[in-house]
Amino acid sequence: MNRVGLSRENVTPTKQFISIFHGAKTWGIVLAVLNFGLIFMVLLYSILPKQYSLKVGDILQNPISATRDIEDTIATQRLKEAARDNVSQIYRFDQHITESVIIEIEDTFDQIDKARQLVLNRFEDYKQELKNQQESLETTEDVPIPGEEDTESNTSIEPLEPDPDEILTDQFIGEIKKDFPIMLSKDEIMTCLNADVEELNQLRDQLLGTLRGLMELHIKQDNLLEAKNALREDMMSLPVSNELRILGTTIGVSSLKPNMLLDETATQEERERVASNVDPVIYKKDQYIVQAGQPVTEEQYLMLQTLGLLKEDKVNIPIVLGTGIFLLLVEVIVIIYLITFEKRTLKNPKHLMLISLITWAVLGLGIVTGGLHQYLIPAALGSMLLTILIGSSVAGIMNIALAVLFGIMSDNGLNVAVMTILGGITGIYMCSRAEQRNSLVWAGVGVSFTNLLCIFGIEIASSGNWYSALNMSAWGIGSGLLSGIFLLGTLPVWENLFGIVTPIKLVELANPNHPALKRLLMEAPGTYHHSIIVANLAENAADAIGADGLLTRVGAYYHDIGKLKRPFYFKENQIASGNPHDKLSPTLSTRIITSHTKDGIELAKKYKVPKVIQDFILQHHGTTTAAYFYHKALESDKDGRVNQEDFRYSGPKPKTRETAIVMMADTVEAAIRALPDPTQGKVEGLIRKLIKGKLDDGQLDDCHLTLKDLNTVAIAFSGAMAGIFHERIEYPNLHETQDITDEEVGYEKI
- The DSSP line for 557-623 is HHTTGGGGSSGGGSGGG-SSS--GGGGS-HHHHHHHHHTHHHHHHHHHHHTT--HHHHHHHHHSSTT
Question: What element of type H or E holds 47?
Answer: helix 24-47
Task: Lowest mean pLDDT of 7-16, 93-102, 451-460, name the range.
Answer: 7-16
pLDDT in tens, 268-310: 888 888 888 888 888 887 788 888 888 888 887 888 777 777 7
Q: What is the pTM of this model?
A: 0.64
- Kindly report the number of other CB atoms within 10 A of residue 575's CB atom: 8
Mean pLDDT of the chain: 82
CA neighbor of 76 nearest in space, from 273, 277, 268: 277
Q: What are the structural domain ranges in the chain?
A: 13-26+32-45+316-500, 92-139+158-262, 507-744
**Residue 295: φ, ψ to 5°:** -70, 150
Distance, C-alpha 10 to centroid of its chain: 47
Q: How far apart are CA 562 and CA 600, in angstroms?
A: 3
Angle separating helix axes 264-276 and 73-85, nearest 10 degrees: 140
Q: What pLDDT is stored for residue 250 in this prediction? A: 84
pLDDT in tens, 244-260: 888 888 888 888 888 88
Q: Decide: 703 and 655 in contact? Cβ < 8 Å.
A: yes
Per-residue pLDDT at 587 exceeds 70: yes
Per-residue pLDDT at 638 exceeds 70: no
- Kindly report the number of other CB atoms within 10 A of residue 245's CB atom: 20
Per-residue pLDDT at 378 exceeds 60: yes
CATH architecture classification, 507-744: Orthogonal Bundle (1.10)
Q: How far apart are CA 126 and CA 128, in angstroms?
A: 5
CATH architecture classification, 13-26+32-45+316-500: Orthogonal Bundle (1.10)
Q: Decide: 700 and 694 in contact? Cβ < 8 Å.
A: yes
